[in-house]
Structure 1
Amino acid sequence: MAEILKEIQERDLSEYETIKTNGICSDEELHKLLKDRERFETKVIQSKKTPINYIEYIQFEKNTHKWVTEKEKQNGCNLTSVKKSIIQRIIRLYRNGTQQFPDDERLWKSFIQFSQKSNPGQVAGIYEKMLSYHGDKDSIWCDYALWAYESTQLLKNVKEIFFRALKRHPTSEVINLTFFDILIKETDRISNVDKLNVAERQLALDRAVLLYRNNRAKITNVSYYLKLLERCEDPKFVNCTVLLQKEIIDDILKYFSAQAIVWDYLAQRELKGYNMIDLQEITSKKVAEIQDMQTNLEDEKDPTIKGEVWKVRSLKTRIELCFRVYEKAVDAVPTEEMWSYFINAMLDLNQDVRMDGELKRHCLAKSFNMGHKSRLMSVEHYQACVEMLLKSPNGIKHVEQLLSEATETHKNEKLYELWMRAYAETQDEAKFYEIFCKANKDLGTAKCVSVWLLALKFYKAYHEENPKKLSEILKEAAKQIHPEFGQFRAYYLEYTMTYESLKKARELYDELCQFPPPCLELHKKMAEIEFQAGTHSKGDVSRIRKCCENAVHYFGASNVEVWIDLLKFERDVGNLKLMSIIYERAKNTLNPELVDTFVTEYALLKVMM
């Protein structure tokens, strides 16, 4: 290794001499540069090198190149030979690194990125070598083809890359979409180079059409077809691709008409001004006539021009057409997903009501009404509807009717919660409690945890007006045997301590401990209360220990934390001598997979003593 390093230093000697001769740094800085380079070089020639060794060395050389360039400008000297030497070293490192670690994709991509600026003539060769190892990744084929198109504008070479890519990845959406993009861009490029070259432009477009047709049987994902349509809607291509758009939409409606996303996309096209009637009326002859006409327009490059393909329509008309498509959609695809697309679109329209606000609000209200009648409207949209209704005069009456009908068919906890929130907002306690009881009756208490939590929050806020109600709800919730209701026992303890006494809280704790199922929150809350209220007398310590022991009794097999809490208690206010006994108990009680975690936690606890 020493001989190799010496050989490298001798090879780089002229570089150091040039730096020293031009005086761009001190002897100490030059010595540091030499030592740092030697350190990095040592790492990449050792037997146990890693890709990171190459990456760090390359970054060091890039930083050195930047430093030399800055010094060259500051001192007004010529350091071209030094910079060239550094670049050659970087290239050598990349080549060696990719040869040693061909599976490391980062090195290849970094090599390509560097070469695109410093040595563009070698990029194609690097891509070819990379593909011999990473040809299974379709994104790399796309990167290669895009680079080839942008750097050479030679479609022949680009097509060859894509044909090879598609031979290996015939159903790759990303490769087909990228190829399609380039073919469409070629149409625009030809137009910019020669406005009168209609035949060449049509040939490029025909290639895109052929690509689409060749893949219809191979790719069956609807999102692929929608992405193709999206690309055709680019202002530069929306006219010339109109026949292809028509063909894609016909295929989508033929094969994917049962998918909600298709109808949503078609409705949004109407909003953009790309009307289905215009599309159906178009012919190849008419497209040719429009293209001939546009080649003579001085403002052809203006992307806002739509020619005669798409009739200009007002926002009002476009909204109405969009709404009609959604109406047809929910008949064709009567699902909650389709209704969600519909109502979300109307909600989006109402984000800005400065223009045609009345129409937008009408469409939203109508979509809510239709969605409600369909019995397929989501809870989230019921919430949006309720919020809108509450802003109107006598809105609460409309909310009552809406949610009364909704809960007849949708036994959903969230709908009852929404109903209760409406009464909470209007401060109608009697109605709030009525719906609370109705929810428990209709759904069963076990499915109403969030309803109980909402009631708890509501009656906490109105405790002064109705103190008994909060106590009643907490008492009833604490007696429930469903595991989800365990948290209410802790809330009831806290309430009793706050509004009654420690004695009452202790009595309640002893009582609740008898109720199944066991509740960890109950024991933790009582221990917390004892810590905060106690004087740490012998009796208080005994009560705290009881809480901790109850926790490990019921949950000690599956919960490390309860043992740590017991140990902390004995350490801080209990009996230190019991810690070793508890430690052994824990190891014997915990599930085997938790023992190591406990031992680690215990070791940390001992360190802090």
Structure 2
Amino acid sequence: RVEDRVPELEQLERVGLFTRAEIRAVLRKASALEYKIQRRALRKEDFINYIQYEINLLELIKKRRARIGYSFKKEEIEHSILHRVHSLFNRATGKWKDDVQLWLSHVAFCKQWNAKHQLSKVFSTMLAIHSNKPALWIMAAKWEMETRLSSESARHLFLRALRFHPECPKLYQEYFRMELMHAEKQRKEKKEFEKAKMDLGEFNYSEEILNGEMARIVYRDATQKIKGVEFQLAVLSIAKLFDFTQDLQKEILENLQANYADDPLTWDYMARRELDLGSLKAPGHPTKQSKVAEMARREERCCAVFDEAVGALPTENMWKCYITFCLERYNRKTNSEELKQK
């Protein structure tokens, strides 16, 4: 109701953030917007316009505060406006439940104004209605992990999501990534405590978790349900982002070669991998010539794998992979004459 605004508007005038004329203008505009959302035939656009007006008002108050250097009375001013925006969003999403963009706008608003408690409720209600959308589960789990720093809540969300989508590759990939992030976080914590010579007795750091064993369990469970080389390569690329996953990478690579040896993408990956596998570094500072020579050797090793690949799997797709690689390297102005000839 418009009369509920009076205390916050009086505060805005009293502290010098708004003039009396501006307060009257806000009241007139708010009355018009309020009238539209009280009609029997509700329109989504009226709610969106009202919400946008309130957000613009919040931004204006923020700028005015910065300009005059006044930071008090936020409880009486901003908090009541924030509460009203949340109420408007709740009414709108309650009326137009299927509009995912409306839900996402509320999520974005909560993030912008750091409304963590409110956002948790928004995610909970949204997922109850839109449980058929894996991307929303991933968004909620990432927020729990990265913003609220709760790997337990993120794990719970991923497990719930997988009950609805037991064969969704993206869900498994992000769950796999989350478990590795959790392991990395614990490793860093343990290292800091050890550096500070603190007693680790009260902290339960499991060696299995520190070594990424939870991620391995997620990976093995996923491979029972999801077939295809693309998924294997996706989780392998995620594992490579973490410096403690050598054993896990080895297991994924072995599965890739054992189960997908007749897939051109496996050969393509194995060949391109040679570019990243450097040889033993020569003593002293590397010169430009030595760097060029080293890259040429790596490219030759790539070509040797591709030559083996087109011999073992002489398909159109395999040749396409080989040609694409050669063109990519050629466009990088490589100095390898042999590659240019290929």
TM range (shorter): 0.7 to 0.9
Matches within 5 A, 1:136-535: 136-195=132-191, 200=206, 202-204=208-210, 205-234=212-241, 236-237=242-243, 240-273=244-277, 314-353=294-333, 357=335, 360-366=336-342
Greater relative CO, 1 or 2 (CA 8 Å, sep 6+): 2
* CA–CA separation in structure 1 for the residues paired with 2:264 and 2:340: 19
Which of residues 118, 122, 127 is equivalent to 2:123?
127
* CA–CA separation in structure 2 for the residues paired with 1:328 and 1:233: 25
Distance 1:184 1:76, change over 3 A: closer
Q: Which amino acid aligns with 1:47?
A: R
In structure 2, what is the equivalent of residue 99 of structure 1? Answer: 94
Deviation track 1:317-366 (CA, whole Å, cap 9, x = no partner) reads: 32222111111111122122211211221222223346xx1xx2312313
Distance 1:361 1:179, change over 3 A: same
* CA–CA separation in structure 2 for the residues paired with 1:324 and 1:74: 66
Deviation track 1:543-584 (CA, whole Å, cap 9, x = no partner) reads: xxxxxxxxxxxxxxxxxxxxxxxxxxxxxxxxxxxxxxxxxx
Aligned pair 1:37/2:30, yes or no? yes
Deviation track 1:471-509 (CA, whole Å, cap 9, x = no partner) reads: xxxxxxxxxxxxxxxxxxxxxxxxxxxxxxxxxxxxxxx
* CA–CA separation in structure 2 for the residues paired with 1:104 and 1:137: 13
Distance 1:274 1:138, change over 3 A: farther
Q: Which amino acid aligns with 1:93?
A: L
Kindly, what percent of the aligned residue pairs are identical?
25
Q: Is the 8 A contact 2:278 2:298 kept in 1?
A: no
Q: Is the 8 A contact 1:190 1:201 kept in 2?
A: no
* Displacement of 1:180: 0.6
Aligned pair 1:9/2:16, yes or no? no
Per the alignment, in what secondary structure is the counterpart of residue 264 of structure 1? helix
Distance 1:349 1:316, change over 3 A: same
* CA–CA separation in structure 1 for the residues paired with 2:227 and 2:45: 41
* CA–CA separation in structure 2 for the residues paired with 1:60 and 1:252: 54
* Displacement of 1:23: 4.4
Q: Is the 8 A contact 2:179 2:215 kept in 1?
A: yes
* Displacement of 1:252: 2.1
Distance 1:172 1:242, change over 3 A: same
Aligned pair 1:109/2:116, yes or no? no
Per the alignment, in what secondary structure is the counterpart of residue 40 of structure 2? coil
Q: Which amino acid aligns with 2:22?
A: E
In structure 2, what is the equivalent of residue 464 of structure 1? Answer: none
* Displacement of 1:105: 1.2
Q: Is the 8 A contact 2:107 2:122 kept in 1?
A: yes
* Displacement of 1:274: 7.7
Which of residues 47, 58, 62 is equivalent to 2:55?
62
* CA–CA separation in structure 1 for the residues paired with 2:325 and 2:13: 69
Q: Is the 8 A contact 1:69 1:83 kept in 2?
A: no
* CA–CA separation in structure 1 for the residues paired with 2:66 and 2:295: 58
Distance 1:147 1:86, change over 3 A: same
* CA–CA separation in structure 1 for the residues paired with 2:297 and 2:39: 73
Aligned length: 315
* CA–CA separation in structure 2 for the residues paired with 1:150 and 1:73: 29
Deviation track 1:258-309 (CA, whole Å, cap 9, x = no partner) reads: 221221112111111189xxxxxxxxxxxxxxxxxxxxxxxxxxxxxxxxxx
TM-score (norm 2): 0.84
* Displacement of 1:247: 2.0
Per the alignment, in what secondary structure is the counterpart of residue 207 of structure 1? helix
Distance 1:320 1:201, change over 3 A: farther
Q: Is the 8 A contact 1:187 1:201 kept in 2?
A: no
Q: Is the 8 A contact 1:187 1:202 kept in 2?
A: no
Q: Which amino acid aligns with 1:230?
A: S
TM-score (norm 1): 0.49
* Displacement of 1:133: 0.5
Deviation track 1:353-410 (CA, whole Å, cap 9, x = no partner) reads: 46xx1xx2312313xxxxxxxxxxxxxxxxxxxxxxxxxxxxxxxxxxxxxxxxxxxx
Matches within 5 A, 1:507-586: none
Matches within 5 A, 1:65-80: 65-77=58-70, 78-80=72-74
Q: Is the 8 A contact 1:330 1:339 kept in 2?
A: yes
Q: Is the 8 A contact 2:58 2:81 kept in 1?
A: yes
In structure 1, what is the equivalent of residue 12 of structure 2? Answer: 19
In structure 1, what is the equivalent of residue 288 of structure 2? Answer: none
Q: Is the 8 A contact 1:260 1:337 kept in 2?
A: yes
Q: Is the 8 A contact 1:68 1:79 kept in 2?
A: no
* Displacement of 1:76: 4.5
* Displacement of 1:79: 4.8
